[in-house]
């Protein structure tokens, strides 16, 4: 499995997601993550697809992985806040947004 094949899977997953084929997109992204396990942008896409597919708790787990891989990125915190909000966890959503603001300043 090459970097190129991983990137091709990500492209296919993005297309499927754009066509609202979320289960198919998630299947592709899981395959991509086997090839690119430390690529935070792929985990970010998975989190977004999981929210779109009504799986917010799994999305939070992906977003936590994004933050672990990219801890100084305010966008990672905003993503985490978005996923927590989708899961109905208002407290953690607010905390993530506050952390995002503190990273920007």
For residue 34, pLDDT over 80 is answered with: yes
For residue 16, pLDDT over 80 is answered with: yes
Model confidence at 1, in pLDDT bands (50, 70, 90)? Answer: confident
Q: What is the pLDDT of residue 105?
A: 75
Quote the CA–CA distance of 65 and 70 in Å, as a whole number. 9
Q: List C-alpha distances in Å: 15 to 8, 26, 57, 85.
A: 11, 11, 24, 25
Write out pLDDT tens, residues 70-91.
999 999 999 999 999 999 999 9
Q: What is the pTM of this model?
A: 0.94
Q: List C-alpha distances in Å: 40 to 36, 61, 91.
A: 9, 13, 24
């Amino acid at each position: 499995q090459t970097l190129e094949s991983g990137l091709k899977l990500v492209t296919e997953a993005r297309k499927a997601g754009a066509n609202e084929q979320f289960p198919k997109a998630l299947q592709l992204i899981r395959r991509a993550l086997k090839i690119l396990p430390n690529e935070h942008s792929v985990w970010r896409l998975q989190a977004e697809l999981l929210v779109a597919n009504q799986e917010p708790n799994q999305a939070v787990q992906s977003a936590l992985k994004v933050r672990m891989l990219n801890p100084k990125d305010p966008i990672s915190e905003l993503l985490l806040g978005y996923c927590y909000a989708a899961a109905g966890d208002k407290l953690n959503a607010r905390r993530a947004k506050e952390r995002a603001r503190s990273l920007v300043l």
